Structure 1
Amino acid sequence: MLPPSMHRPLRSHQQLVAGIVAAIAAGQTDLADILAAVTPGGGKSLLPVIAAARLIEAGVVDRICWIVPRDSLRLQAEEAFADPAWQSALGHAVSVRAAENAPDLCRGLQGYVTTYQGIAAQPDLHLAEHRRHRYLLVVDEVHHLPSLAEVDPLAPDDEASWSRAILPLLEAARVRLLLSGTLERADGRAILWLPYRRGKRAKTREVALEASGWAVVGYSRAQALAEKAVLPVDFGALDGEAEWLDEERRRLGPHRISGSPEVARAALFTALRTGFARDLLRRAFDATRDLRATRRARLGIGPGEAAMGLGKLLVVAPDQENARQYLGWLRGWVPRTQAEHAVRIATSDERDAHATLAAFRLRPEPSILVTCAMAYEGLDAPSVAVCAALTHIRSRAWLEQMIARATRVDPAAGPYQTQSALVLHPDDLLFRRFRERIEREQGTLARDRKPRRQGELPIDDGRERADPIVPLASNATALRWERLAPGPDFAAARPEQRLAQQSDLLDLPSRRERALRLQVGQLVAAQVVEDEGMLRIPRGAGGHHAYSAALKRVMGKGRAVMSLAELEATVAWLERNRLTDHLHLLEGDAKYAWTARQRRLDLGMGKRPRERASKPSSASAP
């Protein structure tokens, strides 16, 4: 399966994905969906390289498209393919490029890397590319995509723009590789494209790890620790007291951060902006300084000598204003001659933020980075050894990703047993509950409740809602240490066992329904592309979603809730009819008003719809 000369060992989940891909390449299975649920920091960035190298070589796919959640991660995706060690180990010559939304996305290479935002900005450009070639579609951190009513009967019919833009690409792809460090969303919604079953708790669903037609590879933190793929985590929980003015300008406190839920939010808000934050930062700074001194002595690196492997400090601030305040404090603790290059900041308002992130990852300096959210997810910086978690966010997915910035094994820091991750954080009740959850639960649930509208990634620009309280003062009191337990393992059957069973599977109704829903989506996409090419509809008018809505009106229900017989009838109808003849059914629907109005005007003039330079209204944009 892999060259015997490979000098970098594959982890168990990487070996399993390689085996699944080999079976697909050899035609031993008709699987097209692979879900890799890999604990943050467990090494999932190599999986697209393994899949693309084998599938392109076998002629199963022509190209790869890798979608990442942030622009800063596109360079890391390129680096994964360009790594000479893995090129030699896997025997591949696949190259990809970080693509802007411009014609010829691959530019002569075997694939491209883009972002969720890039797809949503020009969905038709990417869909046309995926219709021209057979693609391996990799969706990184797929939990950012909420499910849609088109494919999920329990999903709300709302404007989840990223999901609506990416769904047609999922339907068009030859093979799909979905990656995530967590299988839960902060808002409780189901994740786009993943299979679900009824959960053990009322009004919940959980990811169906045994779903037919899927290969699910789980790599838990317990497995990663056993294989020494990630570091153990030591938590320093710092308690403190805070005082503030409430909305009526009454003085409250001092109240403990670890106190009752009624005051915990206000106490934490105050603590992150006053003396407590400085106290926690100082402890993190001192811990990093002591660690670097210890490693210098052990590795034989002289004082003042720049070198990798000494350990770095990552500071996660609640917002950009406080990030700049933290930067000032930290630089005040460093000799003036070193402060500018040793302590840096990376936020969305900083012009050189991406260059700063790259330097933090790849160079000895800076040794301290202050950020808000830019570095919380996907940052591959093994040199991070200490994290100061000065954030108000308590989402499990968010905190797991943040902690994982410090759990990567640093090959330059010496033996594995001499390394560990240190996370200093406020000792509030919600953080303690987060720790308890990751120690006992896999994190695969979706909750049936009214969702919030999809927006940017959590606290993307570091800002939060205005709070009516006025912080006055706070201070740190007690610090306690705890090591994070390994947590639960994945309960799914091993993928190689499931693959061995695939050839004996009957054509189960649920599997047939899924295949027919996929076929319906492909037929709709084909009609959109054909009609745009023949100028029957204007380009860039959200054609795919308009056609899907028209089909729902013709058939009387959406494909997500159709029976097997209804899906078969829908496929037969699409093979005989054109949806462009039924767009009049969208008239009166505000979401598709632009499409319907334009079609009516063009037909009224006796002309084919012309391609317009103007863009659709925001109501009809995906």
Structure 2
Amino acid sequence: MRSLRSHQSELLAVVRAIAAGEAGELRDILAAVTPGGGKSLLPVLAAKTLIEAGLCERVCWVVPRDSLRLQAEEAFVDPAWRTALGHALSVRAADNSPGDPCRGLEGYVTTYQGIAAAPDLHLAAFRRHRYLLVVDEVHHLPALNEADAAGGRDHAADVAAAWSAPIEPLLSLAGVRLLLSGTLERADGRRILWLPYRRSAGGRQEVDLAAPGWAVVGYSRARALAERAVLPVSFGALDGEAAWLGPEPEGGGERPRLGPHRLRAPAPHEATRPALFTALRTGFAEALLRRAFLATRSLRAERRRALGAGPGEVPRGLGKLLVVAPDQTQARRYLELLRGWVPPGQASSAALAVSDEPGAQETLAAFRLTTEPSILVTVAMAYEGLDAPEVAVVAALTHIRSRPWLEQMVARATRVDPNAGPYDAQRALVFHPDDPLFARFRWRMEREQGTRAKPDRRPPRQPSLGLPDWLEEELAEARERQGIIPLESNALTLRLSTLQPGPDLAAGLAAAREPEEQGDLLTPSRAERQLRHQLGDLVAGQAVEDAAEGVGGAIPRGAGLYHAYNAVLKRVLGGKSRSEMSVAELEAAMAWLGRNRLRDHLQLLEGDHRFGWAARQRREWRPPTGRPAAPARSPDLRRRSS
């Protein structure tokens, strides 16, 4: 049986107190959980307790990316947690179709963009029922007064404010609010929507963790390591040098050649970013990618031997490689390099997931839930929230040095893989350029997990950085901002180091963590899709059979019996389209269609000029010789198959 981690137990205690009326006016919960620490169970715990107590009727879980909706559904239908917690709640991935977004279930999952696209739909749902509102990665949403003050100065700020504005009324209407985040700061320094703030002694604004009416549940990387909830990280820092052409002189003339400049330096300087920009687009990137590829291949071979896998077998737990590229152009170039290195016939083991690539969401799902692909190249789609425990190696070929971005990226590899053997045999391996900006991020990680023994140590001084927004999927415009032309780069030395827990965590590491089960779970949205496809197949089957018997023998050009039958079924279902139906309604439609023939109900198309031919066919059609016509039956969806 699974056991709860410390932050999950703390949250459960808070919501139980709220449900029992022992928490006064407390209705806001902030869960600050280190990336990879297991936030996805918190909404399940809160929803089960609050809905059972009658304090909330439904749950709405808002996520920043469409790819995270399915993972949210899976958290509720995970069979092991259903057994451990004794719950039967289900939520569905809503897509702004008209009607009830829950479709008869206990809640729904949507995105920031989904709420912004149809704010009235979600407002209506919150006015009909008392909701537990869960806002995932809330740090992406700026406080409205500050975003408004930007006055269109920053396109990214305008986009974020467009999300905050329709979500704020839902926060006001919600019965209880659960706000989740892996970081309590924004890269642009603005306040986060809804969170309480105070002025520190130094005059800086900071989240007020002791604000009245709020409960704060924290889970640091140090605690996560102590409970064996995340893996230690080994970094492969690759040094190199790069040369480029600088901007054109103001008076005209040839661009100056600059470099070669080393990536590694004691502190950032004017050449750091141009050198990194060049390195990620020339020979250095290929060298770093090659090292990450070989490390992954070696790991998979080692685990294959340990698991006793035979030739041609691809078991779970072998380990996967995630490549984070600087832009979509480079992502496609990296993919071609990787496919050139894999054995012949295995090119499909490397895949691409970027916003402009068709089927990107399906590729992400396959990377998470199946053994292939084993290599995924992306820019931003998979950096945050991707729950793929098999990722063991990351090639960090991104030029972004925002702390929240890098924490999320590293966290893709720090999840414990239950199929990869004992905890002590696993580790996360991250290959990255050895530049001083990344070194500062590493210093912070070491300090926060207890490996820095001297609290007075400081990282190298660093100037204020102009960071791109996390949502920028296409980052190639950096070339215009830099005003440089990359020429060449090469890799030099590789430094390997492991961030292990410090002495203060040694006692906690004695505790074992039970591995989590995985599987391709049948979520409500998957069930809906399957049932819709099955209904379509049944309608098509009847249309083909009846056309062969002459029902559709005189169909006018441009029309079709299949479309007419779909129209009949929609009328049988009371005018509700299949896309608007709940799982229960789809199952009832399947049962009805299994007992009835659509040709017996063509009278429902009478008066519709689009299907006048179908009504005429109904009057003129006779069953084949020797076969009596089936008596007309009135549509009745109340009976369902057992």
Q: What's the TM-score, normalizing by structure 2? A: 0.71
Which has the larger displacement, 269-278 or 120-129?
120-129
**Matched ranges for 1:490-529 at <5 A:** none
**Matched ranges for 1:34-113 at <5 A:** 34-103=29-98, 104-113=100-109
Which has the larger displacement, 302-311 or 472-481?
302-311
**Matched ranges for 1:547-566 at <5 A:** none
Equivalent pair of 1:189/1:451 in contact (CA under 8 Å)? no
Equivalent pair of 2:236/2:495 in contact (CA under 8 Å)? yes
Letter in 1 for 2:111: T
Residue 137 (structure 1) aligned to one of 126, 133, 137: 133
Do residues 471 (structure 1) and 486 (structure 2) align? yes
Q: What is the deviation of 1:45?
A: 0.2
Q: What is the deviation of 1:102?
A: 2.2
Do residues 329 (structure 1) and 359 (structure 2) align? no
Q: What is the deviation of 1:143?
A: 0.3
Aligned counterparts of 2:103 and 2:476: Cα–Cα separation in 1: 37
**What's 1:397 paired with?**
404
Equivalent pair of 1:261/1:429 in contact (CA under 8 Å)? no
Q: What is the deviation of 1:57?
A: 1.1
1:262 is paired with a residue whose SS is: coil
Aligned counterparts of 1:239 and 1:225: Cα–Cα separation in 2: 29
Do residues 165 (structure 1) and 152 (structure 2) align? no
Residue 342 (structure 1) aligned to one of 335, 349, 367: 349
**What's 2:310 paired with?**
302
CA 1:122–1:154 in 2, change beyond 3 Å: closer, same or farther?
A: closer
**What's 1:205 paired with?**
205
Per-residue deviation, residues 382-429 of structure 1 (Å, max 9, x unmatched):
000000000010100110000000000000000000000000000111
2:223 is paired with a residue whose SS is: helix
Letter in 2 for 1:11: R
**What's 2:244 paired with?**
244
Q: What is the deviation of 1:302?
A: 2.2
2:216 is paired with a residue whose SS is: strand
**Matched ranges for 1:217-228 at <5 A:** 217-228=217-228
Per-residue deviation, residues 117-160 of structure 1 (Å, max 9, x unmatched):
111112122112111110000000000011122xx899767751
Per-residue deviation, residues 31-88 of structure 1 (Å, max 9, x unmatched):
1011100000000000001111111111110110000000010010011111111111
Aligned counterparts of 1:241 and 1:303: Cα–Cα separation in 2: 41
**What's 2:231 paired with?**
231
Equivalent pair of 2:405/2:470 in contact (CA under 8 Å)? no
Letter in 1 for 2:175: R
Residue 147 (structure 1) aligned to one of 122, 143, 146: 143
**Matched ranges for 1:156-195 at <5 A:** 159=158, 160-195=161-196
Aligned counterparts of 1:200 and 1:419: Cα–Cα separation in 2: 42
Q: What is the deviation of 1:482?
A: 2.1
CA 1:285–1:461 in 2, change beyond 3 Å: closer, same or farther?
A: same
Aligned counterparts of 1:328 and 1:407: Cα–Cα separation in 2: 27
Q: What is the deviation of 1:197?
A: 1.7
Q: What is the deviation of 1:245?
A: 0.7
Letter in 1 for 2:10: L
Letter in 2 for 1:170: L
Q: What is the deviation of 1:481?
A: 1.7
Aligned counterparts of 1:393 and 1:487: Cα–Cα separation in 2: 28
Do residues 22 (structure 1) and 16 (structure 2) align? yes
CA 1:451–1:134 in 2, change beyond 3 Å: closer, same or farther?
A: farther
Q: What is the deviation of 1:277?
A: 0.2
Give the alignment's Cα RMSD to 1 decimal.
2.3
Equivalent pair of 1:373/1:462 in contact (CA under 8 Å)? no
Letter in 2 for 1:266: P
Identity percentage over the alignment?
70
1:261 is paired with a residue whose SS is: coil
Aligned counterparts of 2:256 and 2:150: Cα–Cα separation in 1: 42
Aligned counterparts of 1:399 and 1:451: Cα–Cα separation in 2: 14
CA 1:201–1:236 in 2, change beyond 3 Å: closer, same or farther?
A: farther
Equivalent pair of 2:221/2:448 in contact (CA under 8 Å)? no
**Matched ranges for 1:379-418 at <5 A:** 379-418=386-425
Letter in 1 for 2:142: P
Equivalent pair of 2:327/2:473 in contact (CA under 8 Å)? no
2:242 is paired with a residue whose SS is: strand
**What's 2:263 paired with?**
257
2:49 is paired with a residue whose SS is: helix
Aligned counterparts of 1:35 and 1:452: Cα–Cα separation in 2: 28
1:74 is paired with a residue whose SS is: helix
Aligned counterparts of 1:119 and 1:22: Cα–Cα separation in 2: 29
**What's 2:497 paired with?**
482
**What's 1:431 paired with?**
438
Q: What is the deviation of 1:456?
A: 6.9
1:307 is paired with a residue whose SS is: coil
Aligned counterparts of 2:17 and 2:466: Cα–Cα separation in 1: 41
Equivalent pair of 1:243/1:254 in contact (CA under 8 Å)? yes
Larger radius of gyration: 2
Aligned counterparts of 1:333 and 1:428: Cα–Cα separation in 2: 27
Letter in 2 for 1:388: A
CA 1:270–1:213 in 2, change beyond 3 Å: closer, same or farther?
A: same
2:345 is paired with a residue whose SS is: helix
Aligned counterparts of 1:210 and 1:428: Cα–Cα separation in 2: 38
Per-residue deviation, residues 321-346 of structure 1 (Å, max 9, x unmatched):
0000000100111112011x211111
**What's 1:505 paired with?**
none
CA 1:112–1:462 in 2, change beyond 3 Å: closer, same or farther?
A: farther
Letter in 2 for 1:238: L
Q: What's the TM-score, normalizing by structure 1? A: 0.73
In the alignment, structure 1 segments of 5+ residues that lack a partner are 1-6, 443-449, 490-622
In the alignment, structure 2 segments of 5+ residues that lack a partner are 153-157, 249-254, 450-463, 505-642
Aligned counterparts of 2:112 and 2:168: Cα–Cα separation in 1: 12
1:314 is paired with a residue whose SS is: strand
Aligned counterparts of 1:441 and 1:146: Cα–Cα separation in 2: 25
Equivalent pair of 1:275/1:473 in contact (CA under 8 Å)? yes
Residue 365 (structure 2) aligned to one of 358, 361, 365: 358
Per-residue deviation, residues 511-540 of structure 1 (Å, max 9, x unmatched):
xxxxxxxxxxxxxxxxxxxxxxxxxxxxxx
Which has the larger displacement, 100-109 or 393-402?
100-109
Q: What is the deviation of 1:372?
A: 0.4
1:335 is paired with a residue whose SS is: coil
Aligned counterparts of 1:424 and 1:452: Cα–Cα separation in 2: 24
Aligned counterparts of 1:440 and 1:451: Cα–Cα separation in 2: 21
Letter in 2 for 1:198: R
The size of the alignment, in residue pairs, is: 472
Letter in 2 for 1:34: I
Aligned counterparts of 1:308 and 1:379: Cα–Cα separation in 2: 17
Q: What is the deviation of 1:214?
A: 0.9
2:18 is paired with a residue whose SS is: helix
2:392 is paired with a residue whose SS is: strand
Aligned counterparts of 1:351 and 1:456: Cα–Cα separation in 2: 24
